Structure 1
């Protein structure tokens, strides 16, 4: 045991920082951490390595990601959770809770005052310049009245251990605080993979907090409706915390929408659903203030809803947190918080905060400039992620430039004292290492004040000596434990009464943006599957050609190569006079597989599918994430190959096609029709039908000699997964007549074009009508035209060969007409159910920058 302990804690005791969460100043383990330390020792370094790998695997399987801007590793970086949790005892946490409740109440009163009477200005508590110089103060929000007793409904405090050993407030988060979903996922993952850590430790669970969160949303509606319509507004899948938006949507059971899913009509907010408009009562927003309304705020925003502020003024919708609450994140408020607290509550601040000096005051500015190197300097407005100046690391020229800027614009700067975060144990390289940490916890408004999450989100510095703690800098995370001396009951009960809520229960209620992404997910995966199957067939024929030097074999390969270009529309491709392309076909095929910039390529189809997929991540099951992750890994591994061979590419498609089919099957069993599965099916059938038509046109129009035609027909049936069915159905030599009868006309064969079009018609007829008229929709009229065309097909006419061109022109004309009709059907679906009105513009250009 001593050997294991020494191995696990090697170098930890001798590398203590100024304040360590695990160790006392005498280098002994603190009482709060003793049981956990014993559990870690019992598990041992080797098993901890395995546990960490299992956590990493689980997070990847569940699709837990954090988007790091401009990350060379890609947009969706896997979430990094360390196996060792962070511990705070309940006795200490009680004081922290009271401090956060007090701070949330103070900021709530500040928010009301700044957009109301502004007594804080009138009584000299806050200088007006400290507020008006910050872009977070939104003048269009002035004097808006709210029904809710507390305007600040959700508050998050960034905490760190200060030099006195107490928890200090580092930052206030009030616009759209992130982290709740990640904190919950951290708890689920840690408890599932490493239950041994909990032995003899009583950990408080956040179930009551999330029950309070759900009640907050249900009770926030301005109207007295029994079933308020609640939505979660997201900027979209490229936002850094989009996983959390989708996670909370799935966890709480409320629709995830983007700005173009909503519209304001007659002073009310409406959700654009497949059926039409449905009034929205509550919006939980994850979009920043200034982007919420392009009419009154940023006119270039595509993330918000034009006219939203007017609906708020009329009290027809509740937004949590209210637009304009970002002003509370202004660090210029920190130096005045003590006086604000005394003014509103006649109390002292319970939680200490970083000593700060606003440079807009003469005495404070002079104090800062006299010893600038000792401070950390920030602009009060960091809406554009402006640089933070750690002055101790600046050279003389940089210090002089900063001084000059402070003197020119003193009201724009705040200086803060340097504090060193405490360290906590992180499992790295088979042992524990001290790493700097900060944590974020959350407050939710309730009838009596604020509920505080027992724990929260812990962020850990990437390196041992790293000063910064940030997810954008690649930091890791920890589960945050509040430990008790008494056993906990109902540890993870997250079932709440949703009888007063109104989640989407009918396909009519599916948000149009969700429906559109489902439609295009179907189209892209259909395109990817048809492309993969066809390329695999061609690669197989290339392998066969190595052992067969017949003339027809060479001619059929040339036809197949050219058909790749026609089917995928990756022109010029093999439709070229360049002999080098035909002499080295593997190079062109490799580009069609891997080049994401080539429109129509397999990689481009998968990239487009991935975009739609991430936009719908709240709908996908865990099994779907596993299959999708497998597809992505195979693509990445293939890109790393230096030597591309026919066999390697064929093996790649064998694996990919299996996973694509598995994903399609999982989609059908994981998503309800009322959630929009119907749109996915329609998109899938449309795309497969359209690509099959192009395949038929590429391979069946030209009249070849008997031997060559046989090989082309065999290749076509093979790519269509219909060769065995043909042999079973037609006990005869391959003939064009029988092939056309099977893959185009057969009403009972699921891969035939006729069968697919009739199924497509059934699904389109299930789409809701946007009005109550009995007349056919344009979508129905277009698919009826397709079916009418199919029903009039005459096999003999399609077989006729034009003497002048040696082509089956009738067949080409029919297929061309069907292609156009399918295209019109797709456009009519988009026009009817997905397209939105043009963005409204401000009459006056408003510059919100200071």
Structure 2
């Protein structure tokens, strides 16, 4: 070996204890890995470190995340992808593929039988307790008939290399199997970072599998239509694999919906769009069984659709996979899979399983209890990862407690042989280390059989000696290569439907109402964040200037500006409420709170947090460039200690950077989606927030008449916070006066930041929104925005600037702005009531309890 290879493989070969994917028993290198290892050695340790850094950067930049609850790294933890792939040769993969197809077929037949004739129980193939004692068996799904060729349309199996060197099945995933999107992103990232390593290795492509996937969803439609309405149902942004939900939505082109986007009417499922209800044909779900229908299953669920099961019974919608398929994720079935296979197919299992003993049988239970420390014990219906007991690590008291539990409910436990997963090379700290690996494969129903993804998702233990392989426990991922001796002749082309040349372009009527609402509010939060940042920056800059000036007028103007900030941002008590004297003595402390306190309503921190929530709900719509800008804002924000009192210059620097990034984000939005596909809602929200805050700034800063110099200071503050001072100087070339400022900021019809322009734009955009088919006239929000614009058109500069000599208030200006603010608020409420109403809810007549534990 060269010096580089010696460094790269240092300590890898010296401690071979278990089956290793690279090493044979005689310590020679597996020839299937030879070319990959040569390529890695050619690059050398330093170059590989650089490539791993590029991979980490790419995962971060693309926003590939895996949510881990209560994780110190935060909710949206970056996905870890190691640059060294896992590979298996096509010769071995063919047998694995056959085994996966066989297993999917068996489980499909089991699913039909359990909710159908139940011959497996009647003929003694499986004990009835395994089915009826499992939480995954849903009696509400009994005898439901489906119009698809298979009941089980997607199957996923976790595989690990067994002690005999063959791939063994560890678990089955059948409710809403995750990992397919991550596997696809792993391949995309690996090709980008390691093109030279891929160049002389023949890796099977996955394009045909994803074409089968898309076709399977279309074929599942109960209606014979060329373009069925398919949606992806997600629990929402806090779900651990939410990135994948958004990724597959973007990749396949299907809307991502939440439960309250869908509703049951007249025996069918409908998606709430802006104009009307649109019938849904296929639901690709990422929500667990019992949460899918609060009317018949868990009544406290907000994730599903009330009445869904009845629609399924009428075969008016297809859910992939069927509700109730969680019964197949049942470790109690594993000891009986061999007999099930013989019963249905008259075949032996192709893929071996972990040796398992169901404790509901007397002989098996006695064997388990007598040798408990040698087993891994699972509950057949485990609801969380803590339901696995690695008995070799339990003390005497814990073993005794577990024995009591097994004796109390023996039917609820399965013991499995402890096997040690194989190891594969992982690039860590400049060298290769053997790490435990597990693979997840995916099969899709196709015609009378199943199509298997070439490869899948590989997960690696986080530490060298770690026995557990889990993303929730800090696991790492790898790209999964199925290699061949000859290059494939096919081109990687993710074209879903080659038969259709001209398809109907989706428009705003295909937009789920929840997505539309988040577009509207993302516009509002983005506008609020930008205007608040500019207002705070203007004030801080004036504070800084005052340090080097003894100008009493500037000091007085700053007093009024501070009060205006509290009024505009609604961050009471602040500079106007109880205890304001103390706040004025240390205004910098208040500014730190206004910027960083995420729990304070109206603060910049709270606004950015609200925008972040809307952003994550919409990330299937945004481009990668938008994610990078957004991630830049997040990283910039996280660099600052929120509990520290920062200096004026530090705060101004932060606000400068945030403003720049917010403007960049706003500029990219129009590149992501068409106006007719929902961007219109964003524009309405943005303009509405800008108009509302323009009104608030004018009321706070120029309604009161001041002495000439102080008046000048207030006008300059308004123009500066509005980013309009240069426009004013260029347009009027005169000393600041109230008439010109009102003309520019409020009345100018051509200036994009003027109130008149913003309100006219809102009216134009609202008039483009879909109107209800039952509404022959103007909607309420149309009438309100029309009234607003009529008021603005009637405003007169002489009347607006007239001052009451007793109160020194421009009463007409205050009255007009107050009226406009009230009507604009009503318009916003009307838009929400018209287009984003999710209040419809059904409840169960009889309470049904589906405990989580």
TM band (smaller chain):
over 0.9
SS in structure 2 opposite 1:13?
A: coil
Partner of 2:417: 417
Q: Give the Cα separation in 1 of the matches to 2:585 and 2:499.
A: 68
Q: Give the Cα separation in 1 of the matches to 2:30 and 2:803.
A: 90
Partner of 2:378: 378
Structure 1 position 125, deviation (Å) = 0.7
Return 5+ residue gaps in structure 2 as ranges: none
Partner of 1:647: 649
Partner of 2:514: 513
1:728 aligns with 2:730: yes
Partner of 2:150: 150
Please tell me whether the aligned partners of residues 786 and 821 of structure 1 are also in contact (alpha carbons under 8 angstroms).
Answer: yes
Question: 1:104-126 CA deviation, whole Å, 9 max, x = no partner?
Answer: 00000000000000001100011
Please tell me whether the aligned partners of residues 104 and 443 of structure 2 are also in contact (alpha carbons under 8 angstroms).
Answer: yes
Please tell me whether the aligned partners of residues 149 and 448 of structure 2 are also in contact (alpha carbons under 8 angstroms).
Answer: no
1:618 aligns with 2:614: no
Please tell me whether the aligned partners of residues 158 and 439 of structure 2 are also in contact (alpha carbons under 8 angstroms).
Answer: yes
Question: 1:148-201 CA deviation, whole Å, 9 max, x = no partner?
Answer: 121000000000011111100000000000000000000000011111111321
Partner of 1:571: 572
Q: Give the Cα separation in 2 of the matches to 1:551 and 1:157.
A: 75
Q: Give the Cα separation in 1 of the matches to 2:404 and 2:294.
A: 36
Structure 1 position 499, deviation (Å) = 5.7
SS in structure 2 opposite 1:5?
A: helix
Partner of 2:638: 636
Distance 1:392 1:384, change over 3 A: closer
Partner of 1:783: 785
SS in structure 2 opposite 1:450?
A: strand
Please tell me whether the aligned partners of residues 234 and 256 of structure 1 are also in contact (alpha carbons under 8 angstroms).
Answer: yes
Q: TM-score, normalised by structure 2?
A: 0.98
1:461 aligns with 2:430: no
Partner of 1:388: 388
Q: Give the Cα separation in 2 of the matches to 1:611 and 1:642.
A: 25
Structure 1 position 424, deviation (Å) = 0.5
Please tell me whether the aligned partners of residues 510 and 674 of structure 1 are also in contact (alpha carbons under 8 angstroms).
Answer: no
SS in structure 2 opposite 1:6?
A: helix
Please tell me whether the aligned partners of residues 589 and 645 of structure 2 are also in contact (alpha carbons under 8 angstroms).
Answer: no
Partner of 1:197: 197
The 5 A counterparts of 1:59-70 are 59-70=59-70
Partner of 2:266: 266
Question: 1:579-633 CA deviation, whole Å, 9 max, x = no partner?
Answer: 3311211111111111110111111111111111111111111110111111111
Q: Give the Cα separation in 2 of the matches to 1:504 and 1:201.
A: 39
Question: 1:719-739 CA deviation, whole Å, 9 max, x = no partner?
Answer: 101111111222221111111
SS in structure 2 opposite 1:670?
A: coil
Question: 1:405-428 CA deviation, whole Å, 9 max, x = no partner?
Answer: 111111111111111111110000
> Which stretch shows the higher mean deviation, 726-735 or 758-767?
726-735
1:37 aligns with 2:31: no
Distance 1:847 1:502, change over 3 A: farther
Distance 1:641 1:407, change over 3 A: closer
The 5 A counterparts of 1:178-197 are 178-197=178-197
Please tell me whether the aligned partners of residues 596 and 642 of structure 2 are also in contact (alpha carbons under 8 angstroms).
Answer: no
Please tell me whether the aligned partners of residues 597 and 642 of structure 2 are also in contact (alpha carbons under 8 angstroms).
Answer: no
Please tell me whether the aligned partners of residues 233 and 284 of structure 2 are also in contact (alpha carbons under 8 angstroms).
Answer: yes
Partner of 1:159: 159
Q: Give the Cα separation in 2 of the matches to 1:41 and 1:776.
A: 71
1:440 aligns with 2:424: no
> Which stretch shows the higher mean deviation, 823-832 or 482-491?
482-491
Partner of 1:324: 324
1:555 aligns with 2:561: no
1:58 aligns with 2:58: yes
SS in structure 1 opposite 2:175?
A: coil
In structure 1, which of residues 766, 769, 774 is the aligned counterpart of residue 776 of structure 2?
Answer: 774
Please tell me whether the aligned partners of residues 376 and 415 of structure 1 are also in contact (alpha carbons under 8 angstroms).
Answer: yes
1:814 aligns with 2:819: no
Q: Give the Cα separation in 1 of the matches to 2:505 and 2:806.
A: 60
Please tell me whether the aligned partners of residues 66 and 79 of structure 2 are also in contact (alpha carbons under 8 angstroms).
Answer: yes
Please tell me whether the aligned partners of residues 436 and 460 of structure 2 are also in contact (alpha carbons under 8 angstroms).
Answer: yes
Distance 1:233 1:438, change over 3 A: same
In structure 1, which of residues 749, 752, 770 is the aligned counterpart of residue 751 of structure 2?
Answer: 749
Q: Give the Cα separation in 1 of the matches to 2:162 and 2:380.
A: 22
Partner of 2:351: 351
1:105 aligns with 2:87: no
Q: TM-score, normalised by structure 1?
A: 0.98
Partner of 2:335: 335
Q: Give the Cα separation in 1 of the matches to 2:749 and 2:479.
A: 57
Please tell me whether the aligned partners of residues 17 and 422 of structure 1 are also in contact (alpha carbons under 8 angstroms).
Answer: no
Partner of 2:833: 831
Partner of 1:536: 537
Q: Give the Cα separation in 1 of the matches to 2:493 and 2:237.
A: 30
Please tell me whether the aligned partners of residues 163 and 420 of structure 1 are also in contact (alpha carbons under 8 angstroms).
Answer: yes
Q: Give the Cα separation in 2 of the matches to 1:754 and 1:184.
A: 49
Partner of 2:708: 706
Structure 1 position 651, deviation (Å) = 1.3
Please tell me whether the aligned partners of residues 275 and 509 of structure 1 are also in contact (alpha carbons under 8 angstroms).
Answer: no
Matched length: 850
Please tell me whether the aligned partners of residues 8 and 45 of structure 1 are also in contact (alpha carbons under 8 angstroms).
Answer: yes
Partner of 1:285: 285
Q: Give the Cα separation in 2 of the matches to 1:642 and 1:781.
A: 49
Question: 1:800-844 CA deviation, whole Å, 9 max, x = no partner?
Answer: 223443222322221111111111000011101011233211000
Please tell me whether the aligned partners of residues 573 and 580 of structure 2 are also in contact (alpha carbons under 8 angstroms).
Answer: no
Q: Give the Cα separation in 1 of the matches to 2:495 and 2:793.
A: 53
SS in structure 2 opposite 1:591?
A: helix
Q: Aligned-pair RMSD on alpha carbons?
A: 1.4
Q: Which runs of 4+ in 1 moved over 4 A?
A: 498-504, 640-643
> Which stretch shows the higher mean deviation, 6-15 or 579-588?
579-588
Partner of 2:314: 314
Partner of 1:840: 842
Partner of 1:470: 470
Structure 1 position 491, deviation (Å) = 4.5
Distance 1:70 1:504, change over 3 A: farther
SS in structure 1 opposite 2:671?
A: helix
Structure 1 position 788, deviation (Å) = 1.5
Partner of 1:401: 401
Q: Give the Cα separation in 1 of the matches to 2:643 and 2:310.
A: 57
1:522 aligns with 2:528: no
Partner of 1:23: 23
Please tell me whether the aligned partners of residues 592 and 645 of structure 2 are also in contact (alpha carbons under 8 angstroms).
Answer: no
Q: Give the Cα separation in 2 of the matches to 1:637 and 1:102.
A: 52
Structure 1 position 248, deviation (Å) = 0.7
Question: 1:311-367 CA deviation, whole Å, 9 max, x = no partner?
Answer: 100000111101000100011111110110111011111111111111111111111
